[in-house]
Amino acid sequence: MTGSSTRSVVIVGGGTAGWMAAAALARFLPPDHRIRLVESDAIGTIGVGEATIPALRIFNHMLGIDEDAFLRATQGTFKLGIEFAGWSGDGSRYTHAFGTIGRALGLVPFHHYWLRAGRPGSLWDHSAAAQAAAAGRFARDHGRPDLPSGIAWAFHFDAALYAAFLRRHAEAAGVERIEGRITGVERDGETGHIAAVHLEGDRRVAGDLFVDCSGFRSLLLGETLGTAFEDWSHHLPCDRAIAVPTARLDPLSPYTRATAHPAGWQWRIPLQHRTGNGIVYASAHLSDDEATARLLAGCNGAPLAEPRPLRFTTGRRRAAWVGNCVALGLAAGFMEPLESTSIHLVQSGIARLLEYWPGKTLADADIAAFNRRTEAEWLAIRDLLILHYHANARPEPFWQARRDAPPPDSLAERLALFRANGRILREGDELFTEVGWLQVLIGQGVQPLGHHALADAIPPADLADFLALARTHAAAVAARMPAHDAFIAAHCAAPVSKAA
Ligand X SMILES: Cc1cc2nc3c(=O)[nH]c(=O)nc-3n(C[C@H](O)[C@H](O)[C@H](O)COP(=O)(O)OP(=O)(O)OC[C@H]3O[C@@H](n4cnc5c(N)ncnc54)[C@H](O)[C@@H]3O)c2cc1C
Going by the annotation, the residues of the binding site are 14-17, 79, 330, 339, 343
Size, binding site for ligand X by CB under 6 A: 38
- Among residues 79, 316, 451, 473, the one annotated as catalytic is 79
End-to-end CA distance of the chain: 48
Residue 37 as a binder of ligand X (CB under 6 A): the answer is no
* Annotated binding-site residue numbers for FAD: 14-17, 330, 343
Among 14, 150, 270, 349, binds ligand X (CB under 6 A): 14
Q: Which is nearer to ligand X, 141 or 179 (CB)?
A: 179
Residue 136 as a binder of ligand X (CB under 6 A): the answer is no
From the centroid of its chain, how far is CA 199?
Answer: 32
Residue 384 as a binder of ligand X (CB under 6 A): the answer is no
With b meaning 16 or more CB within 10 Å and e meaning fewer, what string describes 220-254? bbbebbebeeeebeebbbbbbbbbbbbebeeebbb
Residue 181 as a binder of ligand X (CB under 6 A): the answer is yes
Residue 343 as a binder of ligand X (CB under 6 A): the answer is yes
Q: Which of residues 194-223 bind ligand X (CB under 6 A)?
A: 213-215, 217, 219
CB of 461 to ligand X, least distance (A): 45
Are 71 and 81 a contacting pair, CB within 8 Å? no
38: closest CA among 199, 188, 172? 199
Q: Which of residues 137-166 bind ligand X (CB under 6 A)?
A: 159
CB of 45 to ligand X, least distance (A): 3
Interacting span for ligand X (CB under 6 A) from 65-73, 115-123, 339-347, 438-446: 339-347
Q: Which of residues 38-77 bind ligand X (CB under 6 A)?
A: 38-40, 43-46, 48-52
Among 60, 340, 374, 444, binds ligand X (CB under 6 A): 340
CB of 118 to ligand X, least distance (A): 37
CB of 69 to ligand X, least distance (A): 21
DSSP code string of 118-141: T--S-GGGG-HHHHHHHHTB--S-
Which residues on neighbouring strands pair with residue 334, listed in sequence order? 315
79: closest CA among 258, 255, 257, 248? 255
Q: Which is nearer to ligand X, 243 or 463 (CB)?
A: 243
Residue 339 carries which DSSP code? G
| x-or-dash string of contact with ligand X, 231-260, rule CB under 6 A | ----------x-x-----------------
CB of 280 to ligand X, least distance (A): 7
Amino acid at the residue 52? T
Which residues on neighbouring strands pair with residue 182, listed in sequence order? 199
CA 142/CA 478 separation, integer angstroms: 8
Among 17, 178, 291, 353, binds ligand X (CB under 6 A): 17
Residue 329 as a binder of ligand X (CB under 6 A): the answer is yes
Among 6, 13, 115, 350, binds ligand X (CB under 6 A): 13
SS (H, E, C) 64-84: CCCHHHHHHHHCCEEECEEEE
CB of 457 to ligand X, least distance (A): 42
CA 154/CA 78 separation, integer angstroms: 6
Q: Which is nearer to ligand X, 45 or 131 (CB)?
A: 45
Residue 18 as a binder of ligand X (CB under 6 A): the answer is yes
CA 353/CA 363 separation, integer angstroms: 13
CB of 32 to ligand X, least distance (A): 26
| R_g over Cα of the chain | 23
Interacting span for ligand X (CB under 6 A) from 3-11, 14-22, 74-82, 352-360: 14-22
Are 271 and 71 a contacting pair, CB within 8 Å? no
What is the sign of the dihedral through the CA atoms of 236, 242, 246 and 248? positive
From the centroid of its chain, how far is CA 345?
Answer: 7
CB of 377 to ligand X, least distance (A): 14
CA 478/CA 474 separation, integer angstroms: 6
CA 484/CA 253 separation, integer angstroms: 7
Among 222, 237, 337, 358, binds ligand X (CB under 6 A): 337
Verify whether residue 360 is a known catalytic residue: no
* Annotated binding-site residue numbers for 7-chloro-L-tryptophan: 79
Are 366 and 358 a contacting pair, CB within 8 Å? yes
Q: Which is nearer to ligand X, 151 or 330 (CB)?
A: 330
Catalytic residues: 79
Interface with ligand X by CB under 6 A: which residues? Answer: 13-18, 38-40, 43-46, 48-52, 159, 181-182, 213-215, 217, 219, 241, 243, 278, 310, 312, 329-331, 337, 340, 342-343
